[in-house]
Structure 1
Amino acid sequence: MHMDKIVVSNDSDAVALLERFLNEDIDPSVVEFNGWPVYTLYLKGEKYHQSITPSLMRPLLELQKGLYKTAARVIYNDDNTNRLTDEQRGQFEYTLKVYEGSSDTNANLQDVFTGIAQSAIKKMNGKQIMIVLLAAGLLYTGHGAYEKYIDHLDKVDTNSTAVKNQEILAKSLKDQQDASLKQMQVLAAAVKQYPDVKRTQEEAQEVHFSVLKEARDADEVMVNGVPVTGAKARELTDEQRKKSEKAVFVEEFRVLAVDTTDASSTKVRVRNAKHEFWASFKDHTLDSKAINILQKHLVSRERVRLRIEGKRLGGKVQNASIIAVAPKQGEKGS
């Protein structure tokens, strides 16, 4: 039976289609991205006149890394972005547009998501591909997802002049709240059913927090249509640092993925009985034997005893570092 094209051109389309994929069997080949998703960033302040500071480039690069992880996840069912070819990296690279006269920027990710979908559709369950992609688009660029994230940290300043200047409240506040609530309900269902969506959510939130941290000196910052004053950004990021506590683990973990994208450090996705998170180590801090053991346990899926130190914030483990790898008796690293 022939199906008409399903066009996704905004958050509402994406939410409705994601909900359908969660509950129905739909041919993923009929889905078409048209002008969505779009990541938007607006900055107001003395330093931000038609320019992006070097410090703000860091979270924007993290956004690119997140997109590469999403691509590797849906194409190869693997978090390791080294699986991507140079051609794929070029295809999935986004372009950031800075508008004249301001630091109002956006990245239209339509071509990136279209390319990922076309590359993945023959390699993996089509339904799962679209669920992960639609969720990723909403988590990185959705108004509702970002609003919920900020609300989790504190309350959004809805009286910001940036809101008035950008005229983002085209609908009534109630309509916008209803749309945001629906978006979060559908995303929550996707997170619950699909671990890949949960990982993507964590990565998107890391990007969002990084933007807040680096935009602390702006008068106002608005991401995906959600406004926060610079003072509020400072308050939120400072408060989160105060709330975090040191976390030390000396126990067995399952190694889920190894990411060597960064030339100076390696990230390892690990899971114990209560937590799943990324932990990193500088390439010079662990010897080759320890690194080989991690690689072996990734393949064998057996648990390995690790010492990991990091921060615990709101039940999540962040900024984790692998300090030591303890081989099992008789196990060799080569």
Structure 2
Amino acid sequence: MVAGIQIYEVTNEESFLDLAKRVLLQNETFPEKLSFNGWPNIEINVKGNRYNNSLPSSLMEGFLSLQDELYRAFCIIKYNTPSTIYMTRAEKDALELVFCITEGSTDANAPADNFINSLLDTAGNVMSTMDSRHKMAVLVAVVLAAGGAYAFKTHTDVELEKIRVNKDIKIAEHKIESDKLHANTIDKAIDALREKVRVAANQEAGEQGAEIAKRVNEGYKAVVRSAQDAETITVKSTVLDQESIKAIAKQPKPERNRSNITQEYFIEGAKRNKGYISFNVTDVKTGQHFTMKVDSHQHNTEEINVLFEALKTAKAVQVKVDAHYLNGKIEGARFISLVRNQVAQL
């Protein structure tokens, strides 16, 4: 157990990584109360003619996309789906970032400590069912992703490989500039500890942690796409030059759409929540799994009873849903209605 800790306050990266190390690597207990104060921060610097003393609407759209992906990371933790279909207005308000643009520069900063504190509060019931290691691993995933520590890790790994194989002088010079900033902002010991914690968290959180990081990193990519004419973009200690910006901007962006569809589904699980019921469903034809939200106050008891009966009997039920798609796959859906004459069949 964490010795004598009832309330643990995180004020910087070192204090967070120290706690994460003790829970993940030394099997200590997650604190009874955890609070973030003054850290982490989202730090983005965009340099270029169009970004001097101004904030173009396209860049603001990038920030909004980053906010949306942070919402999705929250939904993965609380609702087990990246779809924001379950989020309430109150949750969105509590998790909203406030970006501050420094006058006369291109620096954009958003304190993320309130975001993390609100996440812990609003997802508390779900996270309370996790053991200490799993809870900390999930928190590491979202905290490090939100802070931008590994926002472009895949890209920078590729750049390093180019230096190694091709001995590319231009890329090497860019890497040196990035390392200079890194050396000025992050102690090497903290850097090593962060990597050790990240690896341990990845092993513990598995697909859930990877999906959280993926969603937030997509948000940072959206910021890059929104400023493709910038000279450089710096996120935390990673400096992207024009070549890197163009390479990242060319990567496929998530394709999202929605449509009303009627399909046969197996109901494989259900959970009652305040104001709604979430059903785990599987498409009979495709085998695809997703979560379907049923608003309790909008649908009659008979329809809900049919869904629960389908769960008990393991028989397929034909349902019309408002499906939300990500890259061609349903990531979540809202129940619309049952196809008629199914009560007698079940």
**Fold agreement, TM-score > 0.5:** yes
Partner secondary structure for residue 230 of structure 2: coil
**Residue aligning to 2:129:** 125
Q: CA deviation at 1:168?
A: 5.6
- Distance in 2 (alpha carbons) for counterparts of 1:16 and 1:236: 33
Change (3 A) 1:297 1:46: farther
Query: 1:219-253, CA deviations, whole angstroms, 9 ceiling, x for partnerless residues?
Result: 11101131111233114444x56xx9xxxxxxxxx
- Distance in 2 (alpha carbons) for counterparts of 1:282 and 1:122: 29
Q: CA deviation at 1:10?
A: 2.6
Alignment partner for residue 261 of structure 2, among 275, 279, 288?
A: 288
- Distance in 1 (alpha carbons) for counterparts of 2:69 and 2:243: 27
Change (3 A) 1:122 1:306: closer
Partner secondary structure for residue 107 of structure 2: strand
**Residue aligning to 1:32:** 35
Percent of aligned pairs with the same residue? 21
Change (3 A) 1:321 1:19: same
Partner secondary structure for residue 229 of structure 2: coil
Query: 1:258-277, CA deviations, whole angstroms, 9 ceiling, x for partnerless residues?
Result: xxxxxxxxxxxxxxxxxxxx
**Residue aligning to 1:189:** 200
**Residue aligning to 2:246:** 234
- Distance in 2 (alpha carbons) for counterparts of 1:212 and 1:294: 39
Q: CA deviation at 1:63?
A: 1.9
Q: CA deviation at 1:8?
A: 1.9
Alignment partner for residue 118 of structure 2, among 115, 118, 143?
A: 115
- Distance in 1 (alpha carbons) for counterparts of 2:255 and 2:199: 25
**Residue aligning to 2:144:** 138
Q: CA deviation at 1:115?
A: 1.5
Alignment partner for residue 327 of structure 2, among 281, 295, 320?
A: 320
Aligned length: 269
- Distance in 1 (alpha carbons) for counterparts of 2:31 and 2:45: 33
- Distance in 2 (alpha carbons) for counterparts of 1:93 and 1:206: 17
- Distance in 2 (alpha carbons) for counterparts of 1:63 and 1:295: 35
Q: CA deviation at 1:106?
A: 0.6
**Residue aligning to 1:18:** 20
- 1:75-86 equivalences under 5 Å are 75-86=78-89
Partner secondary structure for residue 289 of structure 1: strand
Alignment partner for residue 223 of structure 1, among 229, 235, 243?
A: 235
Change (3 A) 1:208 1:181: farther
**Is the 8 Å Cα contact of residues 28 and 130 (structure 1) preserved in structure 2?**
no
Letter paired with 2:327: A
Change (3 A) 1:232 1:303: same
Q: CA deviation at 1:41?
A: 0.6
Query: 1:12-32, CA deviations, whole angstroms, 9 ceiling, x for partnerless residues?
Result: 333332233324242433322
Q: CA deviation at 1:55?
A: 2.2
Letter paired with 2:18: A
Please give the TM-score of this superposition, normalised by the length of structure 2. 0.65
Letter paired with 1:320: N
**Is the 8 Å Cα contact of residues 50 and 98 (structure 1) preserved in structure 2?**
no
Change (3 A) 1:307 1:101: farther
Query: 1:52-73, CA deviations, whole angstroms, 9 ceiling, x for partnerless residues?
Result: 3222233322221222223333
**Is the 8 Å Cα contact of residues 73 and 215 (structure 2) preserved in structure 1?**
no
Letter paired with 2:261: S
Letter paired with 1:141: G
**Residue aligning to 1:203:** 215
Q: CA deviation at 1:37?
A: 1.3
Please give the TM-score of this superposition, normalised by the length of structure 1. 0.67
**Residue aligning to 1:247:** none
- Distance in 2 (alpha carbons) for counterparts of 1:191 and 1:236: 24
Q: Are 1:158 and 2:169 an aligned pair?
A: no
Alignment partner for residue 73 of structure 1, among 73, 76, 87?
A: 76
Query: 1:260-295, CA deviations, whole angstroms, 9 ceiling, x for partnerless residues?
Result: xxxxxxxxxxxxxxxxxx874442xxx5314xx479
Q: CA deviation at 1:113?
A: 0.9
Q: Which structure 1 segments of 5+ residues have no match?
A: 245-277, 309-318, 324-331
- Distance in 2 (alpha carbons) for counterparts of 1:295 and 1:86: 30
Change (3 A) 1:233 1:82: same
Query: 1:201-221, CA deviations, whole angstroms, 9 ceiling, x for partnerless residues?
Result: 111221232223332211111
- Distance in 2 (alpha carbons) for counterparts of 1:289 and 1:303: 10
CA RMSD of aligned residues (A): 3.5
Q: CA deviation at 1:147?
A: 5.5
